[in-house]
Amino acid sequence: MSPTAEPTAGFNISRWALEHPALTRYLMIVLMVLGFAAYFQLGQDEDPPFTFRAMVVQAFWPGASAEQMAEQVTSNIERALQEVPYSDVIRSYTKPGESLTILQVKEVIRGREVSDAWYNARKRVGDIRGTLPAGVIGPVFNDDFGDVFGTIYALSADGFSDEELREFADRVRERLLRVKDVAKVEIFGAQPEKVFVEISHKRLATLGIDLNQVIAQLSAQNAVEGSGQLNAGSENLQVRIGGQFRSIADLEQFPIRGVNANTGQASQLRLRDIGTVTRGVVDPPQVKVRHQGKPVIALGVSMSKGGDIIALGEALRSEAKAIQAILPVGIEMSQVQDQPQAVTRSVGEFVRVLIEAVVVVLAVSFISLGLHTKPFRIDIWPGLVVGITIPLVLAITFVTMFYWGVGLHKISLGSLIIALGLLVDDAIIAVEMMVRKMEEGYDKFRAATFSYELVSMPMLTGTLITAAGFLPIGLAKSVTGEYTFAIFAVTTAALVISWFASVYFVPYLGVRLL
């Protein structure tokens, strides 16, 4: 074939790009700018989002033995959960007064379908609620295992009661919930306050009063019941019964009426005459949190799906300073967990590796593609074409990730590093073919279009074969497949984009620079 041979028939992407240089330049600039913008818009997190396929169902029956709970509560809940679609494993644990059942659905179910399974579980357990014994509290459901508290604060108090510290923790929680990208703020270690009435059995025995009479009178006095309405013509007034307990003193002054079981004589005493009334926290405590050896209340902050953990960390630090400024003296707010800092290190490491890879590829390309032995010299232009192609391919990949909703995390960053060693192959082949044909006497236009005719299909075949190697990850129907799906998505996108760049943008760059 002569150097001035006419191009072969058929559509040629490289020739089309060279015949429309204005559009090619426009696409290069726009895609580069969009990729730069998309990089800063991608959600950043330590791990990719995935769905936990487990739900906990709890029920409480105060006073029941473990055998009663197992036979009358746990077994009924288990039978209802066995009918849930895609149910896989059901484990139950029973102890006196409490039943705990864990439902796991099959891994073949997709993440977006798990919520439907939880709806079915709630509905089926709700249907058998009427068959449970009277006095059973619940069942209650918990399927929020996917919440990751990347930032945790600890509130400690000096000179304040537990209840006062809990009130301040509620105020801090309300402030943190208003921060952008905050999905949930959970409080840990706050002990609910209760009123304890301790009655002396010895004193009751002396007076001949039954304890059940005391309990019944206390319950009746503080009961909340509907008292009806008063029709006052054009208005209806709500009737409320007074006498409810509003303080410890009211409870201590409550009159207890009793009849001596031995003598039959009626008596009336104050509650403080037969017992003591104190205010305190639940004993034993439900959840106890300590930081630096001191009991604290912890606040865990979870990010909304697709958020930027680094931007969230900066916003939380700013809000924490504002909160600390308004807290009273004696209450300190310290940060225990800082996931944004770990993610910042991961992203920074990727950028460093990316810069190192670009430098290495440029150096190797400059030497291998531009080395001439006769006379001995190094031509930098072939390597420069490859060097421009790398950030261009990454920019288009970032745009694709933004469109697919794939954020920056340890899986996608690792995939980009894997793809970085592969995406330069097509560009190097295209540039090397152009250089070779120009040395044979072809003009730049013909050399650029000839590389597409000769090597575009082999390059595409190799690209697709390499992408197919990651296909099992993309098709895996499991939690592991959902967690690692970004390996297939990002690597495949980067490889296909690199092929397109090598047959569309590389010929244009070669004509302009070689």
Res. 339: pLDDT tops 70: yes
Res. 223: pLDDT tops 60: yes
- Whether the bond between 382 and the residue before it is cis, its omega within 30 degrees of 0, is no
- Would you call 235 helix, strand, or coil by DSSP? strand
Q: Which of 311, 302, 304 is nearest to 40 (CA)?
A: 311
Res. 93: pLDDT tops 90: yes
Dihedral angle sign, alpha carbons of residues 357, 360, 364, 367: positive
- For residue 74, the model assigns a pLDDT of 92
Q: What 3 state SS string does 368-424 have?
A: HHHEEECCEEECCHHHHHHHHHHHHHHHHHHHHHHHHCCCECHHHHHHHHHHHCCHH
- For residue 102, the model assigns a pLDDT of 93
- Between 199 and 465, whose confidence is greater? 465
**Residue pair 426/463 in contact by the 8 Å Cβ criterion:** yes
- Between 194 and 500, whose confidence is greater? 500
- CA 102 – CA 106 distance, rounded (Å): 13
- For residue 378, the model assigns a pLDDT of 54
- For residue 92, the model assigns a pLDDT of 92
**Residue pair 269/262 in contact by the 8 Å Cβ criterion:** no
The C-alpha R_g of the chain, in whole angstroms, comes to: 36
Res. 379: pLDDT tops 70: no
- For residue 90, the model assigns a pLDDT of 92
- Between 132 and 347, whose confidence is greater? 132
Mean pLDDT for the stretch of residues 251-275: 72
Predicted TM-score (pTM) of this structure: 0.71
Res. 373: pLDDT tops 50: no
- CA 511 – CA 442 distance, rounded (Å): 12
Query: What per-residue string of b and e applies to 401-439 under the rule 16 or more CB within 10 Å gives b?
Result: bbeeebbbbbbbbbbbebbbebbbbbbbbbbbbbbebbe
Least confident of 217-221, 310-314, 324-328, 501-505: 217-221
- For residue 260, the model assigns a pLDDT of 64
pLDDT tens track for 420-448: 777 778 888 888 888 778 877 777 788 87
Res. 371: pLDDT tops 60: no
Mean pLDDT for the stretch of residues 270-278: 78
User: For the chain, give me the number of helices (H) and strands (E)?
Assistant: 19, 17
- Show the DSSP H helices in 253-375 as ranges: 271-274, 309-326, 339-370
The mean pLDDT value of the chain amounts to 81
Mean pLDDT for the stretch of residues 120-142: 89
Share of the chain above pLDDT 90, in %: 13
Least confident of 199-208, 385-394, 426-435: 199-208
pLDDT tens track for 460-469: 888 889 888 8
pLDDT tens track for 16-68: 888 888 998 999 999 999 999 998 888 777 778 788 889 999 999 888 888 98
Q: Which of 413, 420, 426 is nearest to 498 (CA)?
A: 426
H/E stretch holding 267 reads strand 266-270
Cα 148 from chain centroid? 5
